[in-house]
Amino acid sequence: MLKFWLRSVGIGIVAAIAVILTVPSLRAHIMPKGKADPATASTVQLSFNQAVHRAAPAVVNIYSRQYDRNNHQKLSTEGLGSGVIVSKKGYIITNYHVIAEADQIIVALQDGRIAAAQLVGKDKRTDLAVLRIEGDNLPVIPLNPNYKPSVGDVVLAIGNPYNLGQTTTFGIISATGRSSISQGRRQAFIQTDAAINAGNSGGALVNSRGELVGINTASYQQSNDIESYGISFAIPFTLANTIMQKIIADGRVIRGYIGVDGEDMNALTARRLNGEHIGGILVVGVDPHGPAHDAGFQLNDIIIKIDGKKIAGRQSVMETVTNLRPGTKVQVTLLRKGKEITVPVTIAEDTHD
C-alpha cells in the first residue's frame, strides 16, 4: 500500500512540474518576484558583439594625401575612407573613389598601427581598388564563399564616417541585384538600410556572424540633394573578390567584349515562344566594330546559349562575357525568326571606361 501511495505522489509531482514548465503564466505566479527566469532572460538580450569583434579589427581607416599645388614637397590629407583587409598577405579592398586622386595612401589599423599602402590596381567601372600593406599578424576579416546575401538578412556596416573613428551601424538587406544606381555602373548591388555616410566608403558590410558580405560604396541621394535615409548600397563580395583577383594577376581588370546591347525578354515575348528560352536576351544594338557584328549578329536576335549552356538574363551574359579572356572563342546560340543557329564569336577586350 505504501509503495502505491509513493508512486502516485511521485507521478503527481512530475505532472505538476511539466505543467508549470509548459505554461509560462503559471511560472509568473509561482516564482518569487524580482527573480527573472534565467532561461527567459538569456533569450531577451540581442547582441552582435561577437560579429563586430570578429570583423572590426580588419576594417581600416584610409587617408589619401595629395601634394600641395604650390609646394610639391608638401602633402596634405584630402580624402577619407575605409578599407577591408582580406588576406594575410596584406591585401586591402576599398573603393576607387577613395584613392582616385591620391599621391600617397595611409592606412590606420584599429590596433594603432599606421602603414603607407601600395596601390596594386584600381577599377573605375566597379569603383574598386586594391591596396597592400606590410605587417605581421595582420587581422583578416572572416570570409564565407558559401554565403549568399538574401533579403531580410541582418547586416552591419563598419567604417570610419566623418573621421569620427570606427563606427558600426545596423540594418537588413533590403534588396539584391540592384543595378544602374549611378551612371556607367551596371553591376548588381546589395541594397541595405544600414547607415552609410561619408568615410564609410570602402568599409565592410558583414552578416550576423561577422563574415564579409560586401564593400560599402554609396548612399542614394535625390537630385535635389535632400538626404535619403535607409537607402545605401554595397558591392557584393563575390564581385569584389573577382575584381581583386584580376587586379592581382594583371595589375588591372581585363574584360571580355562582344559588342552587343541586349534586354531581358518580357513576359509577352516569352509567351510567344511558348515559355521557352525565358532566360534569353533580345539583341537591341550591335557595335559595328565589335566581334558580334563580325560574327553576323542581327537586331532582334535572341541569345539563348553560350558554349551550350543556357543563359539566365542580361546580367548573366554580362558576367559570362566579361570574365572571358580576349582571344577566347565561344559558340553562341541565337534564336532568329524561330530557328536556332550557332555562330562562333572571338572575344575582344573591353576598352570602355
Q: What are phi and psi of 180, to 5 degrees?
A: 55, 45
Which residue in the list 64, 174, 201, 219 is annotated as catalytic?
201
Cα angle vertex 285, ends 281, 289, to 5°? 125
97 is catalytic: yes
Q: What are phi and psi of 113, to 5 degrees?
A: -75, 145
Dist. CA 299–CA 166, nearest whole Å = 52
Alpha-carbon torsion 237, 241, 243, 247, what sign? Answer: positive
Cell of 140: 583578416
Which residue in the list 64, 123, 127, 232 is annotated as catalytic?
127
Which residue in the list 97, 123, 277, 350 is annotated as catalytic?
97
8 is catalytic: no
Q: Are 201 and 81 in contact (CB under 8 A)?
A: yes
201 is catalytic: yes
Cβ-proximal residues to 322 (8 Å cutoff; 6+ apart), any chain: 255, 256, 257, 350
CB atoms closer than 10 angstroms to residue 155: 25
Residue whose C-alpha is closest to residue 91's, from 231, 244, 315, 299 = 244
CB atoms closer than 10 angstroms to residue 12: 10
Residues annotated as catalytic are 97, 127, 201
